[in-house]
Structure 1
Amino acid sequence: MKSLFSAIGWLFSKAWWLLDGTRRALMNLLVLLLIVIVVTALMTRGPKPLADKTTLVLKLDGNLVEQFSGSPREQLMAQAQGRSTPRQTRLRDVLAALEQAAKDDKISTVLLDVEDLGSAGQAGLHEVTAALQRFRKVSGKPVVAYADSYSQRGYFLAAQAAEVYLHPMGMVMLEGFGRWRTYYKDALDRIGVTPHVIKVGTYKSFAEPYTATGPSPATVEAEGLVYGELWSGFTTTIETARKLEAGAVGRSIDQIPQLLAAVKGDAAQMAVQAKLVDGLKTRDQMRELLIAKGARDEESKSFRQVSLGQYLAYVRDAGAPNKLQPGVGVVVAEGEIVDGDAGPGRIGGDSTARLIRKAREDDAIKAVVLRVNSPGGSAFASEIVRRELELTRAAGKPVVVSMGDVAASGGYWISMASDAVIADAGTITGSIGVFGILPTAEGLMDKLSLHTGGVTTTWLAGGYDPRRPLDPRLKAAVQSGVDNIYARFTGLAAQARKSTPEKIDAVAQGRIWTGAQARERGLVDRIGSFDDAVQTAVQLAKLEVKAGEKPRLAYVERDLSRSERLIASLTDVMAPSMAAAVGRSLGLDALPAPIIEELAVLKELSRVAARGQLDKAAVVHCLCGAP
């Protein structure tokens, strides 16, 4: 009898398990179906028609980037876990919105909101500046800027507005260019760590913080020349836009203590007197001004407006050329250059090469524009990308390089296989040099009374062990490899620039240049914008483009799977409701950018060293983030 009850109990538990599992599966399928229906409806539903006298709120939120970083899956997981994802504004979205708004009868005004603008290099700022100038010239519509306070980058853009307003308790922060690095040599000596640096290039300063207690004379010379030219161009642009006397910005900074004392410490009044802003307004006063310039929205009780994100739907609906129409393929190469595959925000040697190959094999793409925004990285990965561009040219498709904020070291390496190199005047480029770092901690081992021992069949088997002193034979071998890569670097540059290795070496040695300085020294072909690069590609490919029209641009990106497309759609749906809470959460983004970059690069160097890939361990990287 007992066994009978046990059998019945077992059957009952299994039946319940099956019933419960079926219920869960059906509920999950129902929820998934509901999500698919909602997402599909949102994706297929067109934007609501704009009303007359709508203000386009051009809010540049977070970092100004060439492409969004992070996969759709990573973005969704970050949101689901309550983690902060970097806020980003894509440069091409800003340019497209301004171009469309200039000819959109429904848009009467542009409100430029740069309150939360994060990092942005000179080339990106110049592109937005030129777009704002075109908008005002073509449309005759006003651009109004407002902020509680203006950062240096934000004010550079705000100065292009017809009217610039500031909160009465705000300020305009113009401080100049430059930076202070942390030098670790004494600290590393104290704990017994020796960073063995093998390099070529007098001006190759990336590893200097680990081997010195301050900048070398060569670093001071090179960076002083670059920063000086960039600051001169920066202040001249502001002074021209605000109709100030030449040198007015510099004089105001020099006299800040006296100017502030004259207005009893009121920084906002000081900005008015310096003619940096047109007036002071509280937020409600600014709303009333925008209502007067446009129209009142009765539902929100504010001015009638459309955000940048919302307006992009109208830009897409404005009509795109037929995908089969011959056009120009654009490959974005942004971020650190690493071996293998990498997602958006970094340049993987293999993954970026595949995108270039994809463009080459697309019959509708007749030319390729490579948009470079990179301080460099792996020499091996850089060569993989360069070679793929070389093959693209050999296949009869012109290649034009458009340099963004930074195209230095490895970023310059991947630019060499091209028919034309076009840089912005403020691009940071050059840094033609090579280095490697092999840290050892034998001193730390001694301090901890730790010892190593063992048997190897050759000296190379334990040639690099971070616990032991670096074998001088290994150091000599690595130095030979670094010398070889530098010779290859300068040789390829000489071939690309129709020069000689000796002439390239004279302007190389790891030295950085602005785009304008690089043009004077023959490292780039001319100064221009991304649009100039596209037009050059059109001419080289002999594409026929009707007057007043633009060529078809096809951004070549990794194809998303079905699940990734669904996740991307979910991210778009979730983002508006979660952005305010998630975007302001505290995290590592509070660390200074140079420290984050140094930690990331050192981690990569450690990973390479740990693998023992001495044939790929040479690095072409520039610690030269754009100001």
Structure 2
Amino acid sequence: MNEPRRRGPIARFFQGLWDAMNFTRRLAFNLLFFGFVLLLLAVIGAGDRARPLLGRTTLVIAPEGALVEQYSCDAISRGLSQATGGEDCKEVQLRDLLRGLDAARTDKRIERVLLRTDRMRFSGYASLREVADAIARVRASGKQVVAFGESFDQAQYLLAAQANEVYLDPMGGILLEGLGRYRQYYREGLQDKLGVDIHLFKVGEYKSAAEPYVLDAASPEAKEADLFWMNDVWQRYLGDVARLRKSTPQSLAADIDALPAELIAANGDLARYAQSKRLVDGLKTQEEVETLLAQRGVADEDSETGFRAVDLGGYLKHVDGALQAVDERPQVAIVVAEGEITGGEQPPGTIGGESTAALLRDARDDEKVKSVVLRVDSPGGEVFASEQIRREVVALKQAGKPVVVSMGDLAASGGYWISMNADRIYADPSTITGSIGIFGVFPTAPRALDKIGVHTDGVGTTRLAGAFDITRPLAPEVGQVIQAVIDKGYRDFTGRVAQARKRSVQQIDAIARGRVWSGAQARERGLVDAFGGLDDAIVDAAQRAKLGKPDAYRVRYVEKAATPFERFFSRFASSRMGAHWLRDASWLQILAAKASPHTARDLKFLQSALETTPGRPVKALAYCFCGF
């Protein structure tokens, strides 16, 4: 065996020198790396601490993005969106907006509120009215509320109108136009152009969710039902605005009808037109409003606004900082069910049959939880997933824990399915609910394949073998099988509602058949128990569990917790250094995806409806394309 060759003294010298340099390089790199990490943690820690809140402060509520029940984006995506100015994950939680306003109402350090709603998006009027009530409580406490916007749509304006004073940019405008609901219809494109036949199976002449796939225009029944609930919501909107702006619903409606002629007479100046109709108190730029607030409050040259102010996020840090870290009081748990109802595990913003049921089960198993509020904002979806969630509501009640449902903007079809067994159902008069009906769609594409010269043929051991192949024409007996499944689903739905609401099946059928109702109309028909928002539902749930006064119990949201890394990244993105770094990192901004148009949503829904499970030839759906 050859012995290793020994290096000479010169080689050993240079080898030692190289090892020393390599060690020094790694040491320097590691020191720099850990120094950066420590600096990062220090910045995050400093950014996470709220600045002292002084007296005579103006609370600036100027959220951007969609008003939601819970975030649909994860913490990392929200952090990126916030830091880079992306639009996809800009969201504000209704709960945060409400607790900020409610805390400001009694906070002696908050002198007034500046309200900007012109960069918010809304999906309905029930949640809007909850925020409006919270603003009204601030006004009732004697604190001034000033609203400003560059322009307002009618939903944004409903909140702005709650203020003591409403100012509009001289180049802005307000357009009240009424409520409309228009959809795309695909029958000609699918059937005549592409050769795809969509077979619709449903119960209820008002169940119109799948009409766009089989018709070229809305059915008379769909138009009748939609106009009925929309008129109810719209008249309530006119009444709210008229009361706040010292007008009448009739006058506001007449102004909308006369808008074209009157706007021409005003030389197309929407801002001047709004002022002439007393929709706003004055026309001011943002700088002029800030100067006004500096004169009324406390001027602050170091503030971006020029006056002593705190934004909603900063204020909530003060509110949260005042809460005790450990709270052993009994709990009222809130479980949010927002979005479409689909099977399996789903992220926030979508209701999963398994994931939402698991949250309810967690509340049932938690000894500290004494009652549950299920907050529902959903158009419905899969019947089986809805039933999974309903069973957990029943299990909670059987475990001795009361369940109260608080309906948001929309709790229709499957959204009503998961609500019906609650001890009590609260809704806003402008909530959209009902739509008790079932449907299924089954496409066949042999004509489409014929157009490209593709044909299907083969053999089967029975008359039904391969009958559910969409490349073959739909046999009459297959249609009978599917319709029987849908009929059974409707009987299940109406039967369960009848049992839950202590009515006969015939009474429920008379108000079901897919018919959509406003919250006010639903209460008249016994589908809703009382008017009220989330706070009313919480108080009711606490009383049913005999928890005493509000300070005797704790309210806690039961939801999937963010991972440690998500919390770390969220704090980093909200810090000044993190926001600056991410904003300059343009490569991160390409991660944001653009919102899908209505057509893509409709076709995606059709694709989802086709994804059946073994043993079930068609997916029974309790879904409502209702809303705005």
Tell me whether the two structures share a fold, i.e. TM-score over 0.5.
yes
Gap change, CA 1:371 and 1:429, over 3 Å in 2: same
Is residue 261 of structure 1 aligned with residue 264 of structure 2?
Answer: yes
- Counterpart for residue 245 of structure 2: 242
Question: Matches of 2:552 and 2:599 in 1, distance apart?
Answer: 42
Moved more, 513-522 or 535-544: 535-544
Question: Matches of 2:83 and 2:467 in 1, distance apart?
Answer: 46
Is residue 518 of structure 1 aligned with residue 536 of structure 2?
Answer: no
Q: Structure 1, residues 292-328: CA drift from partner, whole Å, max 9, x if none?
A: 1212111246122211111110121233595320121
Displacement of 1:63 in angstroms is: 0.8
**Secondary structure of residue in 2 paired with 1:55:** strand
**Structure 2 residue corresponding to 1:441, chosen from 438, 445, 451:** 445
Q: Work out which of the two has the higher radius of gyration on C-alpha atoms and give 1 or 2.
A: 2
Question: Matches of 1:107 and 1:500 in 2, distance apart?
Answer: 53
Task: Indicate if the aligned counterparts of 2:84 and 2:583 stay in contact, CA closer than 8 A.
Answer: no
How is 1:341-360 mapped onto 2 (pairs within 5 angstroms)? 341-360=345-364
- Counterpart for residue 227 of structure 1: 230
- Counterpart for residue 156 of structure 1: 158
Is residue 123 of structure 1 aligned with residue 126 of structure 2?
Answer: yes
Which AA in structure 1 matches 2:318? Answer: Y
**Secondary structure of residue in 2 paired with 1:297:** coil
Moved more, 503-512 or 259-268: 259-268
Task: Indicate if the aligned counterparts of 2:381 and 2:622 stay in contact, CA closer than 8 A.
Answer: yes
Question: Matches of 2:596 and 2:563 in 1, distance apart?
Answer: 34
- Counterpart for residue 194 of structure 2: 191
Q: Structure 1, residues 316-345: CA drift from partner, whole Å, max 9, x if none?
A: 123359532012110000001010001110
Task: Indicate if the aligned counterparts of 2:498 and 2:504 stay in contact, CA closer than 8 A.
Answer: yes
Question: Matches of 1:551 and 1:444 in 2, distance apart?
Answer: 62
Question: Matches of 2:591 and 2:564 in 1, distance apart?
Answer: 33
Which AA in structure 2 matches 1:168? Answer: P
How is 1:375-390 mapped onto 2 (pairs within 5 angstroms)? 375-390=379-394
**Structure 2 residue corresponding to 1:614, chosen from 597, 616, 620:** 616
Is residue 429 of structure 1 aligned with residue 425 of structure 2?
Answer: no
**Secondary structure of residue in 1 paired with 2:249:** coil
Displacement of 1:65 in angstroms is: 0.5
Moved more, 117-126 or 565-574: 565-574
Gap regions ≥5 residues in structure 2:
6-10
Question: Matches of 1:259 and 1:94 in 2, distance apart?
Answer: 37
- Counterpart for residue 469 of structure 1: 473
**Secondary structure of residue in 2 paired with 1:186:** helix
How is 1:34-113 mapped onto 2 (pairs within 5 angstroms)? 35-36=40-41, 38-40=43-45, 42-43=47-48, 45=49, 47-75=50-78, 84-113=87-116
Displacement of 1:394 in angstroms is: 0.2
- Counterpart for residue 374 of structure 2: 370
Task: Indicate if the aligned counterparts of 2:425 and 2:529 stay in contact, CA closer than 8 A.
Answer: yes
Task: Indicate if the aligned counterparts of 1:294 and 1:303 stay in contact, CA closer than 8 A.
Answer: yes
Displacement of 1:453 in angstroms is: 2.9
**Secondary structure of residue in 1 paired with 2:207:** coil
Moved more, 379-388 or 467-476: 467-476
Displacement of 1:36 in angstroms is: 4.7
- Counterpart for residue 277 of structure 2: 274
**Secondary structure of residue in 2 paired with 1:350:** helix
Which AA in structure 2 matches 1:354? Answer: A
Question: Matches of 2:418 and 2:188 in 1, distance apart?
Answer: 36
**CA RMSD, aligned part only?**
3.1
Question: Matches of 2:313 and 2:579 in 1, distance apart?
Answer: 10
Q: Structure 1, residues 399-458: CA drift from partner, whole Å, max 9, x if none?
A: 000000000000000002211111110110000111111122211111111122334444
Question: Matches of 1:579 and 1:234 in 2, distance apart?
Answer: 40
Moved more, 293-302 or 410-419: 293-302
Question: Matches of 1:42 and 1:35 in 2, distance apart?
Answer: 10
For these two proteins, the number of residue pairs brought into alignment is 611
- Counterpart for residue 8 of structure 2: none
Which AA in structure 2 matches 1:477? Answer: V
How is 1:167-566 mapped onto 2 (pairs within 5 angstroms)? 167-189=169-191, 190-300=193-303, 302-320=306-324, 323-545=327-549, 549=551, 551-566=553-568
Question: Matches of 2:585 and 2:311 in 1, distance apart?
Answer: 19
Displacement of 1:571 in angstroms is: 4.5
Which AA in structure 1 matches 2:168? Answer: L
Question: Matches of 1:170 and 1:492 in 2, distance apart?
Answer: 51
Gap change, CA 1:273 and 1:81, over 3 Å in 2: closer
Gap change, CA 1:89 and 1:584, over 3 Å in 2: farther
Displacement of 1:106 in angstroms is: 2.0
Displacement of 1:77 in angstroms is: 7.2
Which AA in structure 2 matches 1:595? Answer: T
Which AA in structure 2 matches 1:110? Answer: V
TM-score by length of 2: 0.90
Gap change, CA 1:262 and 1:81, over 3 Å in 2: closer
Gap change, CA 1:444 and 1:232, over 3 Å in 2: same
**Structure 1 residue corresponding to 2:137, chosen from 134, 138, 154:** 134
Gap regions ≥5 residues in structure 1:
none
Question: Matches of 2:519 and 2:77 in 1, distance apart?
Answer: 35
Question: Matches of 2:29 and 2:591 in 1, distance apart?
Answer: 36
- Counterpart for residue 147 of structure 2: 145
**Secondary structure of residue in 1 paired with 2:120:** coil
Which AA in structure 2 matches 1:565? Answer: R
Which AA in structure 2 matches 1:562? Answer: P
Task: Indicate if the aligned counterparts of 2:83 and 2:574 stay in contact, CA closer than 8 A.
Answer: no
Question: Matches of 1:49 and 1:379 in 2, distance apart?
Answer: 51
Question: Matches of 1:398 and 1:536 in 2, distance apart?
Answer: 9
Displacement of 1:23 in angstroms is: 9.0
Gap change, CA 1:303 and 1:246, over 3 Å in 2: same
Question: Matches of 2:30 and 2:484 in 1, distance apart?
Answer: 62
Displacement of 1:471 in angstroms is: 3.2
Which AA in structure 2 matches 1:289? Answer: L
Which AA in structure 1 matches 2:547? Answer: L
Question: Matches of 1:597 and 1:241 in 2, distance apart?
Answer: 37
Displacement of 1:211 in angstroms is: 0.5
**Secondary structure of residue in 2 paired with 1:330:** strand
TM-score by length of 1: 0.90
Moved more, 563-572 or 209-218: 563-572
Task: Indicate if the aligned counterparts of 1:145 and 1:161 stay in contact, CA closer than 8 A.
Answer: yes
Q: Structure 1, residues 377-406: CA drift from partner, whole Å, max 9, x if none?
A: 110010000001100000000000000000
Question: Matches of 1:624 and 1:52 in 2, distance apart?
Answer: 46
Task: Indicate if the aligned counterparts of 2:438 and 2:514 stay in contact, CA closer than 8 A.
Answer: yes
Task: Indicate if the aligned counterparts of 1:98 and 1:132 stay in contact, CA closer than 8 A.
Answer: yes
Q: Structure 1, residues 19-53: CA drift from partner, whole Å, max 9, x if none?
A: 8999988876665565455445544x3x1112332
Question: Matches of 2:30 and 2:353 in 1, distance apart?
Answer: 42
Task: Indicate if the aligned counterparts of 1:72 and 1:571 stay in contact, CA closer than 8 A.
Answer: no
**Secondary structure of residue in 2 paired with 1:98:** helix
Task: Indicate if the aligned counterparts of 1:338 and 1:349 stay in contact, CA closer than 8 A.
Answer: yes
Question: Matches of 1:566 and 1:624 in 2, distance apart?
Answer: 39
Task: Indicate if the aligned counterparts of 2:337 and 2:351 stay in contact, CA closer than 8 A.
Answer: yes
Question: Matches of 1:83 and 1:602 in 2, distance apart?
Answer: 29
Gap change, CA 1:137 and 1:201, over 3 Å in 2: same
Gap change, CA 1:441 and 1:76, over 3 Å in 2: farther
Question: Matches of 2:167 and 2:320 in 1, distance apart?
Answer: 32
Which AA in structure 1 matches 2:175? Answer: M
